[in-house]
Amino acid sequence: MKVRIDGKNVGIEDVFNVARKRYKVEISKELKRKLEEGRKNLLNIISKDKAVYGINTGFGELENIKISKEKIKELQKNLIRSHSCGVGEALDEEIVRAIIFLRLISLAKGYSGVRYEIVEKLAEMLNKNFYPYIPSQGSVGASGDLVPLAHLALAMMGEGLAFFNGKIEKTSDVFKKLGIKKIDFDAKEGIAMINGTQFMAGVACLALHDAENLLKNAEIAGVMSLEALKGTDQAFREEISRLRPYEGQVAVARNLWKLTRGSEIIASHKNCEKVQDAYTLRCMPQVFGAVHEYLEFLKKIVETEINSVTDNPLIFENFALSGGNFHGDALAISLDILNILLTKMGNFSERRIFRLLDAKLSGLPPFLIKEPGINSGMMLLQYVAASLASENKSMAYPASVDNIPTSANQEDYQSMGSIGARKCMQIIKNTRKIIAIEYIVASQALDFFKLKPSPASMKAKKIVRKHVKELKEDRAMYEDIEKIEKTVHSGEIVREVEKIVGRME
């Protein structure tokens, strides 16, 4: 499978396909002509011997130091080497692939003045599955993700480190094995490589893709919990949500209504004395709906970003303009919002887990085990969920509200979006585990009913049972959680449930 690059817009799904599914990248011939035209514009500007930031001047606070034509190439190489000072663990391969792809997309717009060979090299690296070592820490997200992008550019020069068959080696050695030749950056190309928001954007793309899948899983698990707690489906009636017509809430209410159709359990207590359910059951359209609403909003922000030119300076037909498109605030705020949404999703799920395990609230055996006392049952699964939810809360404080000036106060207001991105990578894993635990606990709870849950819940429970057996006596469950987490991540449960209820919105 391939993704064709022709200078037109790409979507989050394209990033997902290249980053995680390893789609090949194909560059159109029309794009080559566009990039060659942009390069001619740059060379024309340089020939006038006028000082242009980052092309024939120093960087940041050193912007007033003019660089001679003879040293322009050296300037670009030194820029990359000096900025390659990241620390921390290496970024996962899928994040690195997203970064490479998004950097290619931005440069392919033709306003960065780079040679066609630069874009071609990025495509080759993706197509040959080259995985450079890019440290996860060091970006402040304002002149773009300078440090992580510098490590990518360093690799293009044949320097630094890279992974090969799971081991870290010198980039030069990996290049030889993969048949990739290093590139020598020319005028403007070094700064063009590192001025951009692609680390933040790459994380945001993959996290949004996963968050949409996670929300659908949360809705399915939530309905399973509702049935096990003998909740009503009447709070999901569209008449209610139409009176508060957020598109997200209406869409989720329709999802929940479809998921509960055909439930013998719900039908059995239709006329019971209970007046209404707890918020974690009754307010699923409102809570999940708010998440749905904001995810749609964030998709628009991120897709605008990934199709933008975030370089500086920008090259036009007869002139260069220095601006601030590299500043990451749009992404930084978006990532903070996403972290809040994911944290709330996890909190919401943990409360239902708690309710299922408390015999006084559920009406089911304590901790969902037939012989409590000698067995602790699923007691500790809620502890784990509580721990993960609490950890998420500690990371959900917005990173974008902080600022520490850099470059002798020339770059005096940072987005700190890369910190939000790093937190997002952990929060989404934690939330996925919490929802996996809810699936396990809700499936165990439904085992105590002779009446059947909805066909959607039965299908989800069947998939859970394929990986995790009913708990009849205490056993170590860490592997069970991991198995269901992987099942959630793969989207298997959603795909199978949608075959029954139709596409979830």
Active-site residue, selected from the candidate residues 23, 53, 383, 413? 53
Q: Does residue 133 have an active-site annotation?
A: no
Helix, coil or strand: residue 59: coil
Closest CA to 284 of 309, 257, 313, 304: 257
Q: Is 447 exposed, middle or buried (0-12, 13-18, 19+ CB in 10 A)?
A: middle
Check if the beta carbon of residue 348 is closer than 8 Å to that of residue 385.
Answer: no
d(CA 138, CA 145) in angstroms, rounded, equals: 8
Taking every pair of Cα atoms in the chain, the longest distance, rounded to a whole number of angstroms, is 87
360's tokens: 């006084």
DSSP character at residue 92: P
CB 401 within 8 A of CB 503: no
C-alpha distances (whole Å) from 469 to each of 311, 385, 461, 475 are: 53, 20, 11, 11
For residues 96 and 84, give the distance between their C-alpha atoms in angstroms, rounded to a whole number: 15
Helices (H) and strands (E) in the chain, counts: 21, 9
Closest CA to 140 of 313, 395, 328, 336: 328
Token duo for residue 94: 């899928």
CA distance 216 to 247: 16
Are 181 and 175 spatial neighbours (Cβ–Cβ below 8 Å)? yes
Instruction: Please tell me the distance from the alpha carbon of residue 317 to that of residue 40, in angstroms, as a whole number.
Output: 9
Question: What values do phi and psi take at 163, rounded to 5?
Answer: -95, 145
CB atoms within 10 A of CB 402: 13
> Phi and psi dihedrals of 181, rounded to 5?
-95, 145
Q: Say if CB 369 and CB 376 are below 8 A apart.
A: yes
Active site residues per annotation? 53
